Chain A
C-alpha cells in the first residue's frame, strides 16, 4: 500500500501538502505495471492520471513513421493529467520502462473534489496550466529558432513535426519539447556536408 512517505521518497509532489496527499491516497487506488505494460494508450478516452511513485515510464506518440518517444518520466512525476480537464482522447501512450507503482486518480473523483471546493483539485488545475504554459513557451522558442534560420527546409521540417507532435501531446511533461529526438536525416546531412568539406 502506498504511503505519504513513499510519495515523498519519490522526490516529487512538492506542490502538495501532506493532508492533500493523504486525501489523494484515500481516493486514488494503487496500480502496479510490469515493464513493457501500457498505463494508458493514445486514442483512448482519458479518464484518469497517474502519480508515479516507483519506476519509470516513457511518453510515446504514434506517427506515420511508427512510435516516437517524447519523454521519459521518473517517479515523482504526474502523467496523463490533461485527462482531468480535457475530455479529448489520450494524445499519447504511457508505457512502463521498468516495474511501475502508481496511484491512479480519476476524473470523476477530481470533479467531485472540485465541486466540493477542494484546494487539492485546484492545485491540479494549476499544475495542468503550468504544464501548458511551459509547453507553449518551449514550443514558441523552438519554433522561433527554426523560423529565424529557415534556410534548409527539409531537415527543419522534421524538427517542426517533432515540435508539432509535442504540441498535440498534452500528457508530455513540461520539458518534453527539449527531448524531441533529432531526426536521423539531420545527422546524415551534417555528415554529408562534413565529408564534402
Chain B
C-alpha cells in the first residue's frame, strides 16, 4: 500500500475546472543536445514541485503535485511562439494531451496562463526524496510500466509515433524533425 503524501506546508496551485482536450498540442520541453541533462532538469522540476505545491481535487482533497509544467499551444498561438523564450534550445518535444493521457499521466490546466501540469499521482509515486530521485528517471526513460514518457527528443521514441523535434540547420534556421516509433 502506498502512503499518501502529506500536503502540509505546501502552496496550493490554482487548477482550472476544465479538462484540456485530447487533441491539444503541448510543448513538453525545449532542450539542448544533452538528453540526460534534460531528464535531470525534469526530475528536478518534479521534485521541487512535489516539495512546494499541492493541487486541490474534486471534493477538496489535496494532492501533492509531482508535476512538470508544459505549454499549451492554444488556437491563438503557435509552437514557434511558445518557443520564443527558448531561442538557445535547438530542439523541442511536442505531443498531444491525448498522448500524455494514454501514457498514464494525469493532465490538469492551471493558472491564468496557457500552462498545463502533467503529474504523477502520489498513490503511485511515493513522495520521499529517495524514491523521487530514483523513480523519476525511470518514469521518464526507464523500464515498463513507467516507460512512456516521451522525453527522449532526438532519439527514437518508444511509444509515441508523431512526436516532433526540431533543430537548427547549418544556416541557423529551425528545422522540424519527425521521429518514428520503434513499435
Partners in one complex: no
